[in-house]
Amino acid sequence: MKRILIAEDSNTMRSMLVSTIDELEKYSIVEAASGFEALRLLPREQVDLIITDINMPDINGLELISYVRNNPNYQLIPLFIVSTESGEKDLEKGLALGANEYIVKPFDPVRLQELVSKYLD
């Protein structure tokens, strides 16, 4: 079963992301409440997709992406940003750092499910 790491500091938003992906009934989910926690989980959990928020305490989503993209063990893992930051500059920066998709909150659950399936099936 393919695994998805969700890094999101908001419990409510993380629950929404988890329930949206759980509806697909094909993937297991690893949850991280911060970028730092996500970095601690990466070596222990084999993940096939990472979904991250940008604004998080300690290590933010952009720093997480930068780490993942610069680490040979993880650099090929597809990575989505799900963020309230909707400005063109934010989008460009996220994609320039190596995110595969940039989804603005509030997100469309069906669109997220389609993207997850596209990258993992």
82 near 53, Cβ under 8 Å? yes
Q: What residue ranges define each of the domains in the chain, with the CATH number in brackets?
A: 2-120 (3.40.50.2300)
Q: C-alpha angle 93/109/29, rounded to 5°? A: 80
Position 114 pLDDT exceeds 90 = yes
> Each residue of 82-106: pLDDT tens digit?
999 888 998 999 999 999 999 999 9
Position 112 pLDDT exceeds 90 = yes
> Each residue of 36-77: pLDDT tens digit?
999 999 999 999 999 999 999 899 999 999 999 999 999 999
Which among 105, 106, 101, 98 is positioned nearest to 116, based on CA atoms?
Answer: 101
